[in-house]
């Protein structure tokens, strides 16, 4: 018989050392980022800057609205993130299909003990301890390997439902990307015309400020020479100062316009281009379509409503999964095993089994789970109905906003033409020495404000058209932007959005 107190195997000491090392590594301290750390942070920043502009073609001398929208659709980083979310949902959908396959498990294990597996036995006839010496039935060290194929009927059913939900989540992610695309186009249109107005007004604003400074200096000189009464001089200087304040506020408001546009279309913020585009947001009249037809189109294509429909389908499938989990589970298994134990007669053998299991306690929670699942369906239905009513309202609101924006543009355009004529007459009067610099500065300021308001009204008109197109679910692209070049993308934008 072996010694009752054998030495501890080396394998056990190695296992204990590995366990201690793993425990200590789990308590490793945190390492926050600091500025004077190795140049990894700076290198990462430089790499990110290069990645932002990778594969983005440089701007030309002119930038049209259709090119700005096309660049935003292809290179905007927020939209790329939305596309990656959709791609991630696609990967999850593809991965969920593998859950329906049987499980093929390969396992290998090593066990060691410091004492032999010694057992005494009882005589089955007399019921007394057997007179035979205790026996050893297992090696101290042994390796067990197995290759087992198993298939669960319950797991298969749940995997099928999980795949359907993953597909609906993929479609819902596509609808969120569509909504983000609509909002991006609206923002690009507004930013484009703000930047265009800044470019158009920059020289005029600076010239008017220079003229106002000159007139202000003349007024101080006249005050010193007492050519005018003090009250008249103060009123003159106050009006000049007020005009200068308006001009400087306009300059400040438009100073960041090109930076906003550069961020949307992912170009360097210091890029200098000339903005040149047709002013009308569309060649046709979007309001020529009856409101009833717009309602029907919106109910079929609006991204928000379609996402709610997919969320409702996900909730319905979740309710079915609650019922399926309560079913008995049938598991089939087939495996080959090998054990290095020297006491075994057959060290390699095959096993097959059928297992039927049923969690009886799950029946207790089944009514509550069904109520919860039905509440989720009711919530999805209520959200869909609320989105339905809101969408109908949005269609009519978008129509009224578009009509109002168009009227406002026509009105501001008429005022701009009148102020331009007034400025022309004021300049002629000044040349004929029948007017003052104050009159010219005031007329120029009014004309500049009219131009600014005209561009603002134009931007609001474009935003209203984009809002109506988003409400109706009109997509600028018929296919993925990744598969189209910039020129082909511009053509689709022009055809589907600007010429519709």
Task: Report residue 441 as tokens.
Answer: 């500065």
According to DSSP, residue 256 is labeled T
Closest CA to 232 of 244, 242, 241, 223: 223
User: Among 87-96, 161-170, 449-458, where is mean pLDDT lowest?
Assistant: 87-96
Residue pLDDT, tens place only, 292-330: 999 999 999 999 999 999 999 999 999 999 999 888 999
For residue 379, what pLDDT band results from cuts at 50, 70 and 90?
very high
| Cα dihedral sign, 406-410-415-416 | positive
pLDDT at position 37: 52
Q: What is the 3-state secondary structure (H, E, C) of 387-401?
A: HHHHHHHHHHHHHHH
Place of tokens 């239905």: 381
pLDDT tens digits for range 98-156 = 777 888 888 888 888 888 888 888 877 787 887 777 888 888 888 999 999 999 988 88
Residue 1 has pLDDT above 60, yes or no: no
Domain boundary assignment for the chain: 67-112+152-498
Q: Residue 32 has which token pair?
A: 């926050």
CATH-assigned architecture of domain 67-112+152-498? Up-down Bundle (1.20)
As a whole number, mean pLDDT of residues 156-178 equals 90
Helix (H) or strand (E) holding 142: strand 141-152
Question: What confidence tens digit (pLDDT) does each residue in 206-247 have?
Answer: 888 888 888 778 777 776 766 667 777 787 778 878 878 888
pLDDT tens column, 416-437: 999 889 888 888 887 777 666 7
Residue 274: CA count within 13 A, CB half-sphere? 3
Q: What is the pTM of this model?
A: 0.73
């Amino acid at each position: 018989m072996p010694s009752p107190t054998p030495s501890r195997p080396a394998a056990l000491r190695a296992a204990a050392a590995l366990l201690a090392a793993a425990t200590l590594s789990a308590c490793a301290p945190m390492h926050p980022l600091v500025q004077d750390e190795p140049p990894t942070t700076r290198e990462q920043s430089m790499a990110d800057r290069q990645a932002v502009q990778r594969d983005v073609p440089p701007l030309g001398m002119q930038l049209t609205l259709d090119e700005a929208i096309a660049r935003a659709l292809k290179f905007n980083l927020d939209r790329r993130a939305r596309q990656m979310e959709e791609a991630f949902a696609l990967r999850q959908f593809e991965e969920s299909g593998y859950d329906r396959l049987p499980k093929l498990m390969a396992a290998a294990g090593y066990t060691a003990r410091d004492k032999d597996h010694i057992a005494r036995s009882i005589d089955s006839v007399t019921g007394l301890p057997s007179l035979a010496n205790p026996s050893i039935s297992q090696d101290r060290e042994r390796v067990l390997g197995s290759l087992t194929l198993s298939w669960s009927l319950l797991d298969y059913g749940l995997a099928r439902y999980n795949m359907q939900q993953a597909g609906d989540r993929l479609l819902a992610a596509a609808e969120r990307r569509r909504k983000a695309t609509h909002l991006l186009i609206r923002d690009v249109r507004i930013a484009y015309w703000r930047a265009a107005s800044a470019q158009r007004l920059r020289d005029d604003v600076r010239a008017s400020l220079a003229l106002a400074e000159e007139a202000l200096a003349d007024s101080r000189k006249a005050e010193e020479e007492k050519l005018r009464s003090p009250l008249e001089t103060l009123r003159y200087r106050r009006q000049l100062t007020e005009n200068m304040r308006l001009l400087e506020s306009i300059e400040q408001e438009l100073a960041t316009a090109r930076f906003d546009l550069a961020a949307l279309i992912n170009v360097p913020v210091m890029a200098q281009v000339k903005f040149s585009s047709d002013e009308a947001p569309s060649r046709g009249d979007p309001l020529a379509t009856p409101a009833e037809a717009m309602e029907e189109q919106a109910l079929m294509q609006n991204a928000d409503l379609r996402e709610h429909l997919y969320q409702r389908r996900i909730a319905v499938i979740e309710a079915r999964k609650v019922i399926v989990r309560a079913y008995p589970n049938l598991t089939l298994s087939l495996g080959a095993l090998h054990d290095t134990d020297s006491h075994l007669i057959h060290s390699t053998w095959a096993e097959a089994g059928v297992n039927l299991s049923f969690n009886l306690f799950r029946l207790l929670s089944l009514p509550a789970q069904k109520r919860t699942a039905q509440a989720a369906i009711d919530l999805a239905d209520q959200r869909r109905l609320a989105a339905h009513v809101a969408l109908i309202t949005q269609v009519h609101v978008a129509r009224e906003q578009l009509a109002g924006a168009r009227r406002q543009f026509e009105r501001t355009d008429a005022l701009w033409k009148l102020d331009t004529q007034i400025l022309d007459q004021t300049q002629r009067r000044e040349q004929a020495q029948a007017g003052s610099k104050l009159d010219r500065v005031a007329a120029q300021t009014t004309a500049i404000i009219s131009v600014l308001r005209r561009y603002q009204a134009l931007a609001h008109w474009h935003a209203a058209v984009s809002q109506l197109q988003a409400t109706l679910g009109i997509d600028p692209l018929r296919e993925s932007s990744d598969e189209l070049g910039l020129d082909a993308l511009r053509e689709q934008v022009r055809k589907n959005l600007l010429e519709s």
